[in-house]
Structures are given as structure tokens and as C-alpha cells.
Amino acid sequence: MGRRRNEGNEPSGRWLTTFNDLVTLLLTFFVLTLSLSKLDEAKMKKMSRSVSDAMGRLEAGSLVDIQIFHPFILPMRRYGIPVEREKGALAARINEKGVMEAKVIEEGVRIIMDERVLFKSGKADIEKDFVAGLEELCRELEKSKGEIRVEGHTDDVPIDTFLFPSNWELSSARACRIVRFLIDEGGISPERLSVAGYGDSRPHACGHDDSNKFKNRRVEIVVITSKSKEE
């Protein structure tokens, strides 16, 4: 006697098609949610109700309260405050020594050294009377963080000697001499240091009188603390 087929109890795979459609719909929903930075809350609630209705979990007349996706943004202020305090503290310690001027700038701390106490006119050799001041500065720079840029500046009086055919060579040589001191005497890592010679192209004070020329003849050290920001 042949076995009777029970077609009514036979398992069916048709539900897999509906399930696959549901998974695809959910995936599309989450991709849209994560990819948009600004979302329309009304549209999102409407979409949520449609999805929930398709899943059979929404009763007639009920509302769905959903959380709109907000992009993750690092709170910059948390990191900016300690950096500003560190810059201010470094500038204050240097100014207390009284041999140079330090001020806080956007990229870090700018230290201004008078050329008259650093070098003789037309020379690039550091005066012995200023060595002690540079040694104190080295101790502060060694404890600081960030790159260090040494800039040489001159006034607009041209120079033409065998060693320095122009103010460009003189300003660069003076900056290089300070860098050598920071490395050899101060123990500053060479990887942190860079040199720039600007000649008379970036005057600190405008005018051709002696007082302004004195201000323009200088060496500046910039301790860069804000790269990264950002770094």
C-alpha cells in the first residue's frame, strides 16, 4: 500500500524570501541613518513606523519615539585648555629671567632676543655675557614639547662682507649659531629644531630711526605647540 503524501504538513521555504527582503530593508535603513549628518526627524519617524509595521510590531494608532543619529565629534575645547595653559606658563617662566621677551602666539610661544646682547655688529658669534641666559633658556626648552624654529632677523642697513654678502646670509648664520648652541650646550634634540633666515624682510618695527633698527635686529625662537591640532 503506497504512502500517502501529506502536502499540507510539508515544510515550505517561501518564508525565506520575505525574511531576506526584511533584512535588506533593515540594512538600507541603518546605512541611511549612519551616512546622513542632518536628518529630518519627521521623515525618520515615518520610516521607523513603516519598518515596524513591516515587522508586525506596530499596533494601529501608536507612535514610535526614536533617537536621531548625531555624528561623533571630539570636543576640541577639552584639549585646547591644557595647551593654552602650558604656553602661558612657559612664556611666564622665560619672562621672569629678564634676559629675553616671551609672548604667547597662536602656534605656540615666541621668544625674542635682542641682537645687541647676542652678537657684535656684523658678527655671528655669541657674546660670552649672554651664554648664561641661553643656558637657562635651554633648560626650559628641554622641558617643553613641540618643534622649535629659530629665526634670524636684521635691520634694513645692507651688509657686504666676505662672510656675509647680504643680510640674508647674516641672519641665517646667526640663527644657525643659536641652533648649534641649543644642540651642543643645551642637549636639545636636533629633530625638534629648524632654522630660518629672513634678513630685513620681516621687521618688528616700522621706521628708519635707530630705536626701530635696534628692535628689528633680533633672533626669535618659536616653540610650536599647536600643530596638531589639531595635531
Taken in order of first residue, the domains within the chain and their CATH numbers are: 1-73 (no CATH), 76-224 (3.30.1330.60)
pLDDT the model gives residue 104:
94
Q: Rg of the chain over CA atoms, in angstroms?
A: 35
Q: Which of 18-32, 127-141, 152-166, 212-226 is predicted least confidently? A: 18-32
Kind plus residue range of the DSSP H or E element containing 175: helix 167-184
Q: How far is CA 36 from the centre of its chain?
A: 27
- Report yes or no: 25 and 19 within 8 Å, Cβ to Cβ: no
Q: Which residue would you say has higher pLDDT here, 58 or 145?
A: 145
pLDDT the model gives residue 117:
80
pLDDT at 80 over 70: no
pLDDT the model gives residue 231:
41
- Report yes or no: 68 and 92 within 8 Å, Cβ to Cβ: no
Q: Which residue would you say has higher pLDDT here, 72 or 43?
A: 43
Please, what is the average pLDDT of the chain?
Answer: 78
pLDDT the model gives residue 164:
94
Q: Which residue would you say has higher pLDDT here, 80 or 28?
A: 28
What's the chain's length in residues?
A: 231
Percent of the chain whose pLDDT exceeds 90: 38
Kind plus residue range of the DSSP H or E element containing 139: helix 131-143
Alpha-carbon distance 132 to 117, whole Å? 12
Q: Which residue would you say has higher pLDDT here, 41 or 32?
A: 32
pLDDT at 54 over 60: no
CB proximity list for 215: less than 8 A, separation 6 or greater: 204, 205
- What's the rounded mean pLDDT across residues 70-95? 69
Cell numbers of 39, please? Answer: 536628518
Q: Hey, which residues does 111 pair with through a beta bridge? A: 102, 221
For residue 115, report the phi and psi dihedrals to the nearest 5 degrees.
-65, -25
Query: Given its phi and psi angles, is residue 207 left (phi above 0), alpha (psi -120 to 50 degrees) or beta?
Result: left
pLDDT the model gives residue 228:
45
Q: Which of 118-132, 150-164, 202-216 is predicted least confidently? A: 202-216
Q: Helix, strand, or coil here: 210?
A: helix
Alpha-carbon distance 30 to 69, whole Å? 10
Percent of the chain whose pLDDT exceeds 70: 69
Alpha-carbon distance 134 to 185, whole Å? 9
